[in-house]
Structure 1
C-alpha cells in the first residue's frame, strides 16, 4: 500500500532548500538525522491560520487563552484528561524557558534538580546556567525509571533541607519510553514523601505510537502540586514558531500566578496562533503522521538488523527518536568537551557515522550518565532517506 502520510511528501532536493539548523549545520553530502526537526510539510490548518493572520497584519503581541483552551480540549479528547483548567495556565516562550521559569518559583540558586539520565541535553545546560545543581537518577537496564535510584537521588537532593525538584521527561527523550500510569503514580508518591516538586516536560506527549498510551503527569494521584509544560512544537514541527503553555496542578496554581508578567512577552503571537491551530484543528494531520512514524520505526528495526547487527535498537514507544546502543562497536566517546548539555559535541559512534557514513546523529555522551557509546537517531524523515542512511552506516561499520 502506498504511504500518504506527511513523511512521504517531500524529496531530498526540496528538504535541502530549507535553511533551518537541521539542514544547514552540516555539508550537503550529510544526511541529517540528529536535531528534533521533522521532514514534513506544514499541516494545512496551521498554514491557513498563519496565512489568515499575516493577511490581516495580525502580528502584534500575544493575548488571550485560546492556546490553553485548545490544549485542554486536545487533552480531553486524546488522553481522556478533563483536569486541565485554563485558569491554571500561563503562556511561556517555549518549553525549556518555561521549565526554567517554573523552577525559579519552586527552587533557589544552589538547589538540586533531579533528572533521569540519559536525558535531553538542554536539561543539563539550562539548569547549570541557572545555578541549579543537577542530580542524576540513572535509568534502569530496561531504560525505564529505576524507582530505587530515583528515591536515592531525592534523598541526595534534599540534603541540608534545601528545596529540590524533579525534572521529568514524559515521554522520555532520548529513549522513547512512554511512562505507564503506575510508574507515574510511583514517582508522584516518592516526590511527595521526600518533599520534592515535580516539573514534567510533555513536549512529545502527542507523539505516542500504537501500543502505548500517554498519561499526563498532572492526572495521577499525588501530582496536585506539580507542573507540566506542553506545546505543539514537536508533534507539528513548529520549533521556529515559539510558544508553550505552563500548567499548574491545583495546589500549585497560586505559585504559577507569581510568574513574572514579562515572561508572557516572550512567545511569538504567530507562534501562539500556530500552536492553537495545531491542537484545535490538526488532529487528522497528526493521525497520518503517527501512522508514518509507526511505519518508520518498524522499517528502522528491519534496517538496523540488516545493516547494523551489532547495534542494539531500542524500539521506542513514543517520540520519533531512536536510541541506538553502539557499545559493541568498541568506539570510545573520546574527549567530553564541555560535558553534558553541549549539543554540538560529537564523539564516539556519532563522530564515526558523521565522518565515514556522512550521516549526522546525536552523540550519546551529551545525554549524561549512561549515554556513552550510544547515538540518538531521528527517524521522522522519508523512508528513502532512512534506507540510505542505514545503508551508509552499515558500510561504515563494516569498514572499521
Structure 2
C-alpha cells in the first residue's frame, strides 16, 4: 500500500495519526507490531499509531538526562489529574489526599476490589466488556456476574438490577466494575445513566469501582462524567491513567481515587502497591495530564475524522456489517453476525494472539490479513463481533477496510 500522511482539511500539517509511515511503524517492537507477520495490518490491541506527545518526550528526556530513574515520590501525578479533571470535566472534587499511586489500572482495580470484597464474593460487569475484567477478577478468586448491555449497547438498568440481586444472593459481598467510557463499544455513559447506576448500587449494597482509563478520549457529541461526581457515589472508587489517551502503556502508572466515604478504605491499601509503578511512568503521565492538552486536542480531531471515515468505509465495503458509532475511545464495535461466521461461544479470555481468534476475526485475519480483536473474548454478547482500533492513519484504515470488503465478497 502507499502510505501518505493525513493532512486535515483545515490544517497545513498532519495530525498525530498522520505523522508516522507504515515503514516507521513496523520498526516498533511493541505487541501491536510484532505479534503478527508483516503482511498483516494490526488494528487490534489498544496501541495508537502516534508519535509521543512533545511534553511527555521532553519530560522523559530530562529525567534520563538527570539519571532520575529511582523510586516514585510525591503527589505531582495526583495534582496533575485533579487540575485536568477540573479543566476538562468541570469536576473539582478530586482530592489529592484521597488518591493512591498504583502500577496500572487493572492492578489498581484488583487492589481496590480486595478492599471492598473477599474471596468468593461477586463482581458485576456489563458484557460485552474489556476481557481482563474477567481474567483479573477470576484469578483473584472472585466470581464474575454478567449484566448484558441492551440492544443499543448501553447499560440495561433492568439487567443490572437483576445482576446485583444475583451477586448479593446468600448475603455475600459484591462490587460493580464499571467501564466508563465502555470498552469495546465506545459508549459514553450520560450523567443520568451514572446516577441511576449509583442509586441501584446503593439500594443493593454493591460497591462501585469505575475504570476511567479512556476518560480523556471522549469524541465530539458526547461528554464525559466522572462517576465520583454523581450523587450516591460517595463510597465508590475510580481508576485513571494517561495510558490510553497519550499512548503510554509501555511506561505504566495509574491513580486510584476514592470518594469521600471510601477514603478510609483506600488508606488501608498496602503501601507496597505503590512500589509497583515506574518513576519514569509517573513522570510521563504527570506531564501528559499537566501539559499534554494541546496534543490531545489534535488527537481528538484526528480520531473524530477517522470515526467518520470508518463509517463511510464500512458502509461502502461491508454493507452486511453493522458498525456501531463510538462516542469515545478509539475502538469500534462491528456486528458481523449477519455473515454467519461466529462459532459456538468459547468464553471470555485475553485477546491478541492468533489462537484467540474466532469467527469473523479469524476470517478477516486469514483472508484479509487484518488483525482485529475477536468478539467472543469480551464475554456474553460478543459472539459474531469484532473490535477494531481506528487510532491509525487514514491510509492504513482505508487499506484495511478495502481488504476486509474483498474478503467478505469472496465468501
TM-score under structure 2 length normalisation? 0.96
Tell me what 1:112 maps to.
122
Give me the whole-angstrom Cα distance separating, in 2, the residues matched to 1:269 and 1:334.
Answer: 45
Tell me what 1:365 maps to.
376
Offset, 1:4: 2.5
Correspondence for 1:4 among 9, 14, 26: 14
Give me the whole-angstrom Cα distance separating, in 1, the residues matched to 2:143 and 2:335.
Answer: 28
Number of equivalenced pairs: 398
Give me the whole-angstrom Cα distance separating, in 2, the residues matched to 1:70 and 1:274.
Answer: 11
Q: Is the 8 A contact 1:123 1:341 kept in 2?
A: no
Correspondence for 1:212 among 219, 222, 229: 222
Tell me what 1:124 maps to.
134
Q: In the alignment, is residue 168 of structure 1 matched against residue 168 of structure 2?
A: no
Give me the whole-angstrom Cα distance separating, in 2, the residues matched to 1:301 and 1:5.
Answer: 20
Offset, 1:96: 0.2
Tell me what 1:355 maps to.
366
Q: Is the 8 A contact 2:99 2:255 kept in 1?
A: yes
Q: In the alignment, is residue 384 of structure 1 matched against residue 384 of structure 2?
A: no
Query: What secondary structure is seen at the aligned counterpart in 1 of 2:203?
Result: helix
Give me the whole-angstrom Cα distance separating, in 2, the residues matched to 1:341 and 1:251.
Answer: 34
Q: In the alignment, is residue 333 of structure 1 matched against residue 333 of structure 2?
A: no
1:58-97 matches, cutoff 5 A: 58-97=68-107
Give me the whole-angstrom Cα distance separating, in 2, the residues matched to 1:261 and 1:376.
Answer: 37
Offset, 1:5: 1.3
Give me the whole-angstrom Cα distance separating, in 2, the residues matched to 1:130 and 1:51.
Answer: 38
Give me the whole-angstrom Cα distance separating, in 1, the residues matched to 2:177 and 2:338.
Answer: 31
Give me the whole-angstrom Cα distance separating, in 1, the residues matched to 2:343 and 2:84.
Answer: 41
Q: In the alignment, is residue 399 of structure 1 matched against residue 399 of structure 2?
A: no
**Closer, same or farther: CA 212–335 of 1 in aligned 2, 3 Å:** closer
Q: Is the 8 A contact 1:90 1:245 kept in 2?
A: yes
Give me the whole-angstrom Cα distance separating, in 2, the residues matched to 1:332 and 1:221.
Answer: 41
Tell me what 2:269 maps to.
259
Deviations 1:340-360 (A, max 9, x none): 023231100000000000000
Q: In the alignment, is residue 19 of structure 1 matched against residue 12 of structure 2?
A: no
Correspondence for 1:203 among 180, 200, 213: 213
Offset, 1:383: 0.3
Query: What secondary structure is seen at the aligned counterpart in 1 of 2:260?
Result: coil
Q: In the alignment, is residue 42 of structure 1 matched against residue 52 of structure 2?
A: yes
Give me the whole-angstrom Cα distance separating, in 2, the residues matched to 1:335 and 1:248.
Answer: 37
Tell me what 2:350 maps to.
342
Deviations 1:303-325 (A, max 9, x none): 00000000001000000000000
Tell me what 2:67 maps to.
57
Query: What secondary structure is seen at the aligned counterpart in 2 of 1:37?
Result: coil
Give me the whole-angstrom Cα distance separating, in 1, the residues matched to 2:223 and 2:204.
Answer: 28
Tell me what 2:308 maps to.
298
- Unmatched tracts of structure 2, length 5 or more: 1-8
- Unmatched tracts of structure 1, length 5 or more: none
Q: In the alignment, is residue 229 of structure 1 matched against residue 244 of structure 2?
A: no
Q: Is the 8 A contact 1:333 1:365 kept in 2?
A: no
Deviations 1:355-396 (A, max 9, x none): 000000000000000000000000000000000000000000
Tell me what 1:317 maps to.
327
TM-score under structure 1 length normalisation? 0.99
Q: Is the 8 A contact 2:375 2:382 kept in 1?
A: yes
RMSD of the alignment, in Å?
A: 0.7
User: What stretches of structure 1 move > 6 A for 4+ residues in a row?
Assistant: none
Offset, 1:332: 1.9
Correspondence for 1:248 among 236, 246, 258: 258
Deviations 1:153-182 (A, max 9, x none): 000000111110000000000000000000
Q: Is the 8 A contact 1:154 1:194 kept in 2?
A: yes
